[in-house]
Homo-oligomer: A and B are copies of this chain.
Amino acid sequence: MKRVKLLIAYDGTNYCGWQKQINGITVEEVINKTLSELLNENIEVIGASRTDSGVHALANVAVFDTETKIPAEKISFALNQRLPEDITIQGSEEVALDFHPRYCNSTKTYEYKILNRRFDMPINRLYTHFVYMPLDVDKMRQASQYIVGEHDFKSFCSARSQVSDTVRTVYSLEISKNNEDIITFRISGNGFLYNMVRIIVGTLIKVGLSVYPPEHVKEIIDAKDRNVAGPKAPSRGLTLIGIDYEE
């Protein structure tokens, strides 16, 4: 038996997120079904990040155990021939049998993209959140410094979550704007609570619109109350960039 690690990219637009559920088709389900057919075994992958409905990924991580004789590196190519075009495997390799994508320490990086201009742009609409009112990038940058570091992020966690420990460390949060009016929030951390990135961005949007002064973000963190933070930004703007595991 061997354990195989997959790097999985997907366009989340047409999926009800990563994790198997009753309401609709999920990325995990498609991967399980395709792998099981390919290897002629009953495969259930363990995913690293349970991305929400509509969220995209460049390299989510999942592992599975298999008896197959196909070399681990070749599985990506074989899978891609059978997967729909909105899911592709970016690589596959054998890993130690005790490697677990959620329990091993890692750094996760997400990007959130906002299109900030007068009119929405059709070719960006599936991967950016359109905001008509001008956003002050400098103010959002000032506010972002309160987010970086180890904090109790309870104010930035959807009430539906059942996690008890809401302390997380954000290693970096960079905000840039390109010449196509796209503002990118790039955030790395040792883990993120349910909807945390989207609530951080929703809160920074309020700062960018001058609804809150930048310093108010510190008070929001200190309050440890979901009701005082901004709304969660829409899922289409969010992409899981990658997950780095410590050696």
Please report whether the interface of chain A is mostly helix, strand, loop or mixed according to DSSP: mixed
Of B86, B118, B123, the residue contacting A122 (CB under 8 A) is B86
The answer to whether B86 touches A119 (Cβ under 8 A) is no
Of B9, B118, B121, B239, the residue contacting A58 (CB under 8 A) is B121
The answer to whether A9 touches B239 (Cβ under 8 A) is no
State which size class the interface on A falls in.
20 to 34
Contact with B along A116-138 (1 / 0, CB 8 A): 00111111011100000000000
In chain B, what residue has the closest Cβ to A117?
B90
Is A194's beta carbon under 8 Å from chain B? Answer: no
Is A186's beta carbon under 8 Å from chain B? Answer: no
| A-B contacts, 28 listed (Cβ < 8 Å) | A9-B119, A9-B121, A9-B123, A10-B122, A11-B122, A11-B123, A11-B125, A56-B122, A56-B123, A58-B121, A58-B123, A76-B119, A80-B119, A80-B120, A85-B120, A85-B122, A85-B125, A86-B122, A86-B125, A87-B122, A88-B119, A88-B122, A90-B118, A90-B119, A91-B119, A123-B127, A123-B239, A126-B126
Partner-B contacts on A (CB < 8 A): 9-11, 56, 58, 76, 80, 85-91, 118-123, 125-127, 239
